Amino acid sequence: TVFGPSNLAWFEIPPYWRKLLFLNITALREVVLYHSVGDKLYTTQFHNEQLVPSLLPGYNIRLNVYKHNTVFTVLGAVIIRSNQNATNGVVHTLSSVMRIPVSSIYSTIQATTGFTLLQQAVRIAGLVSLLNGTHPLTMFTPSDAAFLKLSASELKQLMSNPKYLANILEYHILRGTMYTAAFYYEDTVRTFNGKSLTITNSGNGKCQRLYFYIIPGGKVKVNGIGLPEQDVSTTNGVIHIVDTLLFPSGYNLYST
């Protein structure tokens, strides 16, 4: 099975990085191997959160089936044309080139500039094991800028209360891998702490169909807040970055 990025998908890679990739035959070969599977897989055989071994040794591909809006994703890339038979297998055309995930949600946060306060918060809240675990998760990941929108006293109050901090961080976490392609025009989703988030998609939620193709579209917001970066794959789920902290309705930092 080959998960083949469309021509447009390759041109969505920034030109500098695309040029470097095509000049590095070893890296390009790894990308091609990662987009290939040693079995013939039709979408009728997919199930949600399925991990299949790619031809790049040691690296799995995560398949997601979002039945509520009839979308199949491969590491977050939408299958825009599926089940194209070849003499030696099957091809699925993707909306984007997959980026090979190499670490967990927490390790990705550690390795990324601009998330020092989140690293500290996760440790204080005792959530390192959760974010390093094997169960698939989605995290709306607040940057340092999100924390620094609080006043100094508010930030101190938040960081000095591990139980409350854990509750707030769990409000940023969903069970399961929810790429942006999963979201309708407006979805209400339950977070890890039991409260609800509202996810909106300006592209009317459903991916639009054009002949044989499915065109992913729309700008996703969570509780009205945009995502500066989205669909960052990890070995145990996906990260969407937010630059504002999310608080459940009625929560007050000074009532803890």
Fold equal for 2-94 and 105-255 = yes
Tens of pLDDT, residue by residue over 75-86, are 999 999 999 999
Please check the confidence at residue 214 and state whether its pLDDT lies above 50. no
Closest CA to 63 of 80, 45, 90: 45
Fold of 2-94: FAS1 domain (2.30.180)
Tens of pLDDT, residue by residue over 113-137, are 999 999 999 999 999 999 999 999 9
**CATH fourth-level superfamily of 105-255:** FAS1 domain (2.30.180.10)
Q: What are the domain boundaries of the chain?
A: 2-94, 105-255
Model pTM score: 0.90
For residue 252, the model assigns a pLDDT of: 64
